Amino acid sequence: NAGVMQNPRHLVRRRGQEARLRCSPMKGHSHVYWYRQLPEEGLKFMVYLQKENIIDESGMPKERFSAEFPKEGPSILRIQQVVRGDSAAYFCASSPLGLAGVNEQFFGPGTRLTVL
């Protein structure tokens, strides 16, 4: 069973460009989470999605950032008009359909975004 896949692993953008980060959850997982890890900091929750629905976007910056998890295909985190402060590692995690008890989150290898 393949794990959580993210691509690209490394992404370089110039200021003002758009960055699109992709995440394919583990097979059978319908919950996707995006986190951002700034240099020398911990993980900060950004957004939680289920198929075609945003469940919680309380950690997402109000401007320039958006996320989707369509019925078919990977989840996409989009950052428009990137700035240097967006340089970070972006991690995706997935978990299976909610059951009684607590589900583990399985993490992808991350996308390291560098804004020049």
Partner 1 sequence: GNSVTQMEGPVTLSEEAFLTINCTYTATGYPSLFWYVQYPGEGLQLLLKATKADDKGSNKGFEATYRKETTSFHLEKGSVQVSDSAVYFCALSRTGNQFYFGTGTSLTVIP
Based on the shown chain and the rule CB under 8 A, indicate whether residue 110 belongs to the binding site for partner 1. yes
User: Containing H/E element for 95?
Assistant: strand 88-96
Based on the shown chain and the rule CB under 8 A, indicate whether residue 76 belongs to the binding site for partner 1. no
Start-to-end CA span in the chain (Å)? 37
Based on the shown chain and the rule CB under 8 A, indicate whether residue 98 belongs to the binding site for partner 1. yes
Applying CB under 8 A, which of residues 2, 39, 41, 63 lies at the interface with partner 1?
A: 41
Structural contact between residues 21 and 77, judged by C-beta atoms closer than 8 angstroms:
yes
Comparing CA positions, the residue from 114, 111, 113 lying closest to residue 24 is 111
Q: Which residues bind partner 1 (CB under 8 A)?
A: 4, 6, 31, 33, 35, 41-45, 48, 55-56, 91, 93, 95, 98-99, 101-110
